[in-house]
Amino acid sequence: MSRTAADPVEKKSPGILARIAVAVVSLVATVLVAEGTARLLLPVQQIVEVEAVTPRSSRPGPLEEKEQEHGIDVVIDRSGDHGVRLFPGVRATIHDHTLSNRDVVIETNSLGLRHPELGPKSDDEFRVLVLGDSITFADYVPFEETYTALLERRLSDRQPGVRVINAGLPGVGTSDELYHYLEICDAVDADLVLVGMYLNDSQTTGRFYARSLSQPYASSRFLSWLANRIEALRISLWSDDEIPEIDPDWREEFRRGRQLKTGDMWNDQDAHDFEVYNAYRDFGIAWNPKSWVILERIVRALALSARQRGAEIAVFLFPVHFQATGNLDDLRPQKSFAAMCNAIDIPCLDLVPALRADWRVVQEKLYFDHCHLTTHGNGVTADAVAAWLDAEGLIPRANPNTVR
């Protein structure tokens, strides 16, 4: 049958393969544009090289099969029930760290601590074990610039045999640090246990340490950024890891009667409270008195465990950055901290005065972000903690007749 001029012309629709090809090309083009934008706007992703090392003890290192993997996660052991641990006998080199933009080596000993190997304790050795979170672990600066290493140098004048042992772990709270202490206490045999607390220590474990993508995806700034945002959203919306025994409505109670607004958090109370309100799952939880009720039970148990082993215990509290560099005197967390320590009868140190005094005089950068200290900030911390320990008589003085 012949087709007339009035008959419509039939148009063949693209086949399914053609449509898939168009979709794939469009997706690839979108990702490439996003990656190009990310490389213009986002910081360089840190790159990590990891190798196994042989610890100087009889305990074998377990990472032979992981030495070729990339990503700081190979240093982190998440298999336990009480927060993360560090795999023993690992050396990881972080290139262009996200916080410090420096190349940093993380090396762990046979106990899984970021500290040189501990041999048998000598008669003239005084061991100080420092428990803490990522501020103490400090994977963004070389080991010799951590506040624990700097503290050891300060204390060497008091006691030549003093050793300050870094037992910091990323993304943990005080409850995790209690279990960590019970795991390593006999091997370390500390004379003094220090706990470097932060305002979010009543939170549950593992919530604020982002997992990295595997290669080759970790090389993409866009995909790394997207993965972090998805993880943050998952935690915010679907995680059932609530802070135990703390009324979830406290955040709205905190907001009631306040005019929260963005602005100068260092000098304006409403802007300050806005930051606390929004960080209710992080440092903001410290403004809730109920969090300190929980922490008191944990710290009391830790103090009892240390004393049963013949060790002294003392704690100090790191502030959020705008407390140290600001001018407001909203120190409710520090007051709750002091009350807790008084109830347990343990020495305590609030680091706000030392950090604030240094900032007002020296004006040198103290923080990389809201809580992680620069090398200068670590030095200020080491000075303050050394002076406090000396005043409390927690570090024995060297015999003036000792030949050094």
Mean pLDDT computed over 247-270 = 83
Angle between helices 221-237 and 16-41 (to 10 degrees): 90
Q: What is the pLDDT of residues 102-120, one digit of tens each?
A: 888 899 999 999 999 998 9
From the centroid of its chain, how far is CA 190? 23
Mean pLDDT computed over 279-300 = 89
Paired tokens of 340:
């807790």
| Most confident of the following: 72-81, 140-149, 170-179 | 140-149
**When comparing pLDDT for 280 and 237, which is higher?**
280
| Most confident of the following: 66-70, 234-238, 304-308, 339-343 | 339-343
Q: Which pLDDT score is estimated for 54?
A: 39
Fold observed for domain 47-392:
Rossmann fold (3.40.50)
- 3-state class percentages of the chain: helix first, strand second, coil last, to nearest 5: 45, 15, 45
Instruction: Write out the DSSP string of 89-149.
Output: SEEEEEES-TTT-S-EEEE--TTS-SSPPP-SPPTT-EEEEEEESHHHH-TTS-GGGSHHH
Q: Which pLDDT score is estimated for 217?
A: 63
**When comparing pLDDT for 279 and 206, which is higher?**
279
The percentage of the chain sitting over the pLDDT mark of 70, rounded to a whole number, equals 76
Instruction: Write out the DSSP string of 11-32.
Output: -PPPPHHHHHHHHHHHHHHHHH
Name the nearest CA neighbour of 43 among 105, 103, 97.
97
Q: How far separated are the first and last CA of the chain, in Å rounded?
A: 113
At residue 213 the predicted structure's pLDDT band, cuts being 50, 70 and 90, is: low
Mean pLDDT computed over 134-159 = 93
Q: Which pLDDT score is estimated for 47?
A: 47
Q: Which pLDDT score is estimated for 333?
A: 96
Q: Which pLDDT score is estimated for 60?
A: 43
CB-CB contact of 331 with 317 (8 Å): no
- pLDDT value at 245 more than 60: no
Q: How far apart are CA 172 and CA 195, in angstroms?
A: 12
**When comparing pLDDT for 375 and 215, which is higher?**
375
**SS3 call for 364:** coil
Mean pLDDT computed over 48-63 = 41
Q: What is the pLDDT of residues 27-47, one digit of tens each?
A: 888 888 877 887 776 655 544
Q: Which pLDDT score is estimated for 63?
A: 39
- pLDDT value at 2 more than 50: no
Q: Which pLDDT score is estimated for 91?
A: 87
Q: How far apart are CA 3 and CA 138, in angstroms?
A: 80
| Most confident of the following: 74-88, 208-222, 381-395 | 381-395
Q: Which pLDDT score is estimated for 398?
A: 65
The percentage of the chain sitting over the pLDDT mark of 90, rounded to a whole number, equals 44
Name the nearest CA neighbour of 98 among 52, 131, 134.
134
pTM attached to this predicted model = 0.76
Q: Which helix (H) or strand (E) holds 352?
A: helix 352-362
At residue 231 the predicted structure's pLDDT band, cuts being 50, 70 and 90, is: low
- pLDDT value at 234 more than 60: no
Please, what is the average pLDDT of the chain? 81
**When comparing pLDDT for 393 and 92, which is higher?**
393
Mean pLDDT computed over 365-390 = 96
Q: How far is CA 175 from CA 88, 187, 237, 344, 352, in A?
A: 21, 20, 24, 16, 23
Q: Which pLDDT score is estimated for 248?
A: 65
- pLDDT value at 244 more than 70: no
**Number of neighbouring beta carbons within 10 Å of residue 203:** 26
Q: Which pLDDT score is estimated for 300?
A: 92
